[in-house]
Amino acid sequence: MYRDRVRLPSLLEKVMTADQAAALIQDGMTVGMSGFTRAGEAKAVPEALAQRAKQQPLKISLMTGASLGNDLDKHLTEAGVLARRMPFQVDSTLRKAINDGSVMFIDQHLSETVEQLRNHQLKLPDIAVIEAVAITEQGHIVPTTSVGNSASFAIFAKQVIVEINLAHNTNLEGLHDIYIPTYRPTRTPIPLTRVDDRIGSTAIPIPPEKIVAIVINNQPDSPSTVLPPDSETQAIANHLIDFFKREVDAGRLAKNLAPLQAGIGSIANAVMCGLMESPFEDLTMYSEVLQDSTFDLMDSGKLRFASGSSITLSSRRNADVFGNLERYKDKLVLRPQEISNHPEVVRRLGIIGINTALEFDIYGNVNSTHVGGTRMMNGIGGSGDFARNAHLAIFVTKSIAKGGSISSVVPMVSHVDHTEHDVDILVTEQGLADLRGLAPRERARVVIENCVHPSYRDALAAYFEAACQRGGHTPHILREAMNWHINLEERGHMLAAS
Amino acid sequence: MYRDRVRLPSLLEKVMTADQAAALIQDGMTVGMSGFTRAGEAKAVPEALAQRAKQQPLKISLMTGASLGNDLDKHLTEAGVLARRMPFQVDSTLRKAINDGSVMFIDQHLSETVEQLRNHQLKLPDIAVIEAVAITEQGHIVPTTSVGNSASFAIFAKQVIVEINLAHNTNLEGLHDIYIPTYRPTRTPIPLTRVDDRIGSTAIPIPPEKIVAIVINNQPDSPSTVLPPDSETQAIANHLIDFFKREVDAGRLAKNLAPLQAGIGSIANAVMCGLMESPFEDLTMYSEVLQDSTFDLMDSGKLRFASGSSITLSSRRNADVFGNLERYKDKLVLRPQEISNHPEVVRRLGIIGINTALEFDIYGNVNSTHVGGTRMMNGIGGSGDFARNAHLAIFVTKSIAKGGSISSVVPMVSHVDHTEHDVDILVTEQGLADLRGLAPRERARVVIENCVHPSYRDALAAYFEAACQRGGHTPHILREAMNWHINLEERGHMLAAS
């Protein structure tokens, strides 16, 4: 059953159970695991680790590409396995542990983790656990539905555990393009100038003797949880598509736009869906995660090529795409997240980056991570990698949340992930604010006019006008700047009377 | 006198007075001028413009490389010429106008201005005014002591005014390396892999017919105002050099460190001076502005090569360096600021970026620009270009200011220019905080232990401990987070009793 997937015969003797492989991971180790946006994570070994930790205390530092599926972060947290975790997560149980201070979470730009490892600024993984479709005749590892940080983890770790997952079709082989930047001080340019360039190998090249265990598994990826467009996300998509049309008319964008990046989530997905009805053709994506909308756009003939680091699909789309991968294979590539998100490439290609904000303020500072300035949601992910160097750095959000008790547009954000220097366009269902070339006072007027929910508009305008009376390049009244957040925390509504 | 400097004879008929040239600049125009950190700015034409505006109302949008010398921003502001100004300034009169809202200031990453122009996201300059050493036989412009944005301004503008400045020695010719990235979507990698690579031309290539005026001038650059090291900046330098030694011992840095970038100012200058007494040899710089310390380090034999975008020297050093430029010429290059600060190159070379913070908070967020979250000082400059992609992103500041009424280390910064994701090392005269690989609660302990002035340490520790009691990944008490800034504003001391 799996012998055709472990093609270097000498490695067959390394096949063992997940429990046996997990026993190689010892207390205090740093472990690098595959997995990016619930795609392609190692599944059996971390689950075995969680089970073992119920008997025997075990703490590790866990690095992944991004978020894991199959409730692994939940199970590892509940078993008390996680001392440290980086660089991203989306699990509510782990989130709680991060926020009560029992798991140390390092929230990083997704392009930077392996750069810091390469330069020994983070502790190298003792062991890597990588999900694979197959191991080649040379002993190289063929990843599954994500590349993430898997290649560098396998290269840096002293020992590698491979999970061969029979639930993934072997037709995934050939989809990946593994390129690792050369070492400083003699690093050369990343030779990628088009979204469809292939610059590396189709498998992760490591000396086969580093593979210390092979576990056979048959558990699928978790389906994505993206919601279908609703009237508000549809309105956001419409504002953005109208904006793109104006940019094309003004000659600032070509008719096929520019390579698109869309963060994970329902709003970005709605925007991509909106492109289906748009006049734009011959589109390309240079993104992190490829979602349902990527394949819908390909099916509609709108999307010519998509480069990502993972594929995360809904149950609806999963069997269709992976069962008919030959239909898409010449239009797809999966790269290490260091390359999918690399500032050098993002700047060169001039991508359109569309990411979701938790909240933004009247001057265009964006909070992507912290509720009330304090409690971590998921992490910054790749949003900063893209926004800083994008041709257009776009942030989207619904203008209100929790039935209107929260305005996503505030006087001053409670935490800053993207500064006003890096934000070009803000969109809510109310409208779109084009901040390019504007000074802060001009930005505030455009944001208040276009993005704020009507129930908050007067209050926000009043704050801004009062702040302007006191002066300053970026007028603020520090005594009041955080009041909306404080009201929410103490009284349950941002505009609650004190 | 100037005929040997205007080497394309047909251009000699374009020589005119500064007043005549300034008359080409009309109300409402966007003007791109040379000048970067008080070096190489056009001098006669903007001064003539300021004089003319006293008679006749005139408003322009002014773009430069960075700050101007010779009080030009002051004179232009006083004459009411500036409607809009970007991307950087250091003038106290202009600062006041920015803060009272009468000049719209756009505070940009210095690598991004011409990228946004190239993509028509900012209005292109109608006219460029560029200081030059000479005009070549081909009609190309040889810049003086800075390149800044001059090359792209001259390329984008419909008309170009050249100020030939006889105060600059013609031996500057050959120092510059003008490279302009190719246009998207067919942009190719920037072919620079070493600090001493030359990848462009020594003059700015434009069609000579675009040169509509040539003004002859003889006014020197303003001297730099950098202060000599004092005991506190010396202590900061010592902490940093000890840190570099430990990095070398740990194998994370080579014995010649990595290409160094130092922001303008007295603290960064002191750090560079400190390297004179250090054990490090064969150093290189890949920076924006080259200050006195660059040449002191070269004289001492410590510095092998320096790449910058401008040279800004004190009166003490000026005549010596420019009078003996042949001594330095094979160790120096001046590049467009787009290239000196380019994220692609910064990431590839793995620079050590040393920049000055106005304040930072316990979690490592840095404010470089706004006093009290509201009033602009100078602008972000290149600090973000370097910090985001540096091998080491270092921010330095004295731990207190204004005789102790201000702590530079605060619970929450009043404005964020660099997020915790981008900051590796913080240094004050008290000590050094190494934040690499730490979660926020860990960062706070390291910052409080190492960087805070003793007179603020207990109060900061108390804030942090109380915030931790309330929980959160990045614990804060929003009701108190801004109190130090509010105290300062209302009572003149950050710890004033309310």
Contact yes or no for B100 and A471 at CB 8 A: yes
Tell whether residue A32 is among the known ligand binding residues: no
pLDDT for position A295: 96
Q: CA dist A231 to A34, A234, A429, B89, Å? A: 36, 5, 8, 45
Nearest chain B CA: its distance from A202 CA (Å): 23
Rounded distance, CA B67 to CA B54, Å? 23
B96 has a chain A CB within 8 A of its CB: no
Interface contacts A/B by beta carbons within 8 Å: 233
Phi, psi at B179, each rounded to 5°: -125, 130
Contact yes or no for B470 and A374 at CB 8 A: yes
**Mean pLDDT along residues A328-351:** 98
Distance of CA A446 to the CA centre of its chain: 29
Rounded distance, CA B117 to CA A406, Å? 37
pLDDT for position A266: 85
pLDDT tens for each residue of A115-128: 999 999 999 999 99
The chain-wide mean pLDDT, for chain A, equals 97
Q: Which residues contact B429 (CB under 8 A, 6 or more apart)?
A: B231, B232, B233, B235, B236, B239, B398, B399
Residue pair B322/B370 in contact (Cβ under 8 Å)? The answer is no
Kindly state the tokens that stand for B367: 């404010």
pLDDT at B451 over 90: yes
pLDDT for position A265: 82
B257 has a chain A CB within 8 A of its CB: no
The confidence band for B226, taking pLDDT boundaries of 50, 70 and 90, is confident
- Tell me which residue of A393, A455, A461, A460 sits closest to A427, measured CA to CA: A393
What is the signed CA dihedral for A257, A261, A267, A273, rounded to 10 degrees? 50
Tell whether residue A483 is among the known ligand binding residues: no
Chain A interface mutation, best of B86, B116, B339, B419, highest count of A Cβ atoms under 10 Å: B419
Q: Which residues of A are catalytic?
A: 288
Rounded distance, CA A307 to CA B245, Å? 42
pLDDT at B269 over 90: no
- Name the strand (E) or helix (H) holding A427: strand A425-428
Kindly state the tokens that stand for B84: 């809009």
- DSSP letter, residue B191: -
Rounded distance, CA A114 to CA A151, Å? 10
Residue pair A357/A396 in contact (Cβ under 8 Å)? The answer is yes
A485 has a chain B CB within 8 A of its CB: yes
The confidence band for B498, taking pLDDT boundaries of 50, 70 and 90, is low
Rounded distance, CA A140 to CA A155, Å? 11
B187 has a chain A CB within 8 A of its CB: yes
Instruction: Decide if B288 is catalytic.
Output: yes
Rounded distance, CA A38 to CA A44, Å? 14
pLDDT for position A125: 98
Nearest chain A CA: its distance from B188 CA (Å): 6
Q: Give the sign of the dihedral formed by CA A61, CA A65, CA A70, CA A71.
A: positive
Which residue in A98, A348, A486 is closest to B478 by CB distance?
A486
Kindly state the tokens that stand for A149: 């940080």
The confidence band for B228, taking pLDDT boundaries of 50, 70 and 90, is confident
Chain B interface mutation, best of A365, A421, A441, A480, highest count of B Cβ atoms under 10 Å: A421
Which residue in B107, B188, B365 is closest to A193 by CB distance?
B188
Contact yes or no for A439 and B189 at CB 8 A: no
pLDDT tens for each residue of A28-66: 999 999 999 999 999 999 999 999 999 999 999 999 999
pLDDT tens for each residue of B319-357: 999 999 999 999 999 999 999 999 999 999 999 999 999
Q: Nearest-CA residue of chain A relative to B348?
A: A187
User: Which class for B92: exposed (0-12), middle (13-18), buried (19 or more C-beta within 10 A)?
Assistant: exposed
What radius of gyration, in Å, describes the C-alpha atoms of chain B? 23
Q: Give the sign of the dihedral formed by CA A469, CA A470, CA A476, CA A478.
A: negative
- DSSP letter, residue A196: T
Residue pair B439/A99 in contact (Cβ under 8 Å)? The answer is no
Rounded distance, CA A383 to CA A388, Å? 8
- Tell me which residue of B141, B143, B145, B147 sits closest to B210, measured CA to CA: B141
Kindly state the tokens that stand for B1: 């006198």
Kindly state the tokens that stand for B488: 């300062």
**Mean pLDDT along residues A316-340:** 96
Rounded distance, CA A77 to CA A93, Å? 7
Q: DSSP for B356-416? A: E-SEEETT--EESSEETTTEE-S--TTHHHHHHH-SEEEEE--SEEGGGTEESEESS-SS-
Strand ranges across the sheet with A352-356: A332-334, A303-308, A283-286, A260-262, A352-356, A392-396, A425-428, A431-434
- DSSP letter, residue B69: S
Chain A interface mutation, best of B469, B474, B489, highest count of A Cβ atoms under 10 Å: B474
Q: CA dist B408 to A188, B30, B428, Å? A: 39, 38, 9
Domains of chain B, start order? 9-217 (3.40.1080.10), 231-491 (3.40.1080.20)
Beta-bridge partner residues of A197: none
> Which three-class secondary structure string do you get for A327-351?
HCHHHEEECEHHHHCCHHHHHHHCC
Query: What interface predicted TM-score (ipTM) does this complex get?
Result: 0.97
**Mean pLDDT along residues A150-172:** 97
Beta-bridge partner residues of B356: B396
As a whole-number percent, the residues of chain A with pLDDT over 70 amount to: 100
Rounded distance, CA A272 to CA A299, Å? 13
A184 has a chain B CB within 8 A of its CB: yes
Q: Is the peptide bond before B220 cis (omega within 30 degrees of 0)?
A: no
pLDDT at A178 over 90: yes
pLDDT for position A498: 60
Tell whether residue A437 is among the known ligand binding residues: no
pLDDT tens for each residue of B176-201: 999 999 999 999 999 999 999 999 99
Q: Is the peptide bond before B87 cis (omega within 30 degrees of 0)?
A: yes
Pairing of strands A370-371, A375-376: antiparallel
Rounded distance, CA A294 to CA A313, Å? 10
Give residues 406 to 445 of B whose Cβ lies within 8 Å of A.
412, 414-422, 424, 436-439, 441-442
At residue A134, what is the residue type?
Answer: A
- Tell me which residue of A283, A292, A291, A289 sits closest to A259, measured CA to CA: A283
What is the signed CA dihedral for A92, A93, A96, A101, rounded to 10 degrees? -140
Out of B232, B288, B338, B359, which one is annotated catalytic?
B288
Residue pair A398/A408 in contact (Cβ under 8 Å)? The answer is yes
What is the signed CA dihedral for A289, A291, A294, A300, rounded to 10 degrees? 180
A98 has a chain B CB within 8 A of its CB: yes
Which residue in B350, B419, B439 is closest to A106 by CB distance?
B439
Contact yes or no for A107 and B424 at CB 8 A: no
B389 has a chain A CB within 8 A of its CB: yes
User: Which class for B186: exposed (0-12), middle (13-18), buried (19 or more C-beta within 10 A)?
Assistant: exposed
Kindly state the tokens that stand for B212: 């509509």
Contact yes or no for A482 and B485 at CB 8 A: no
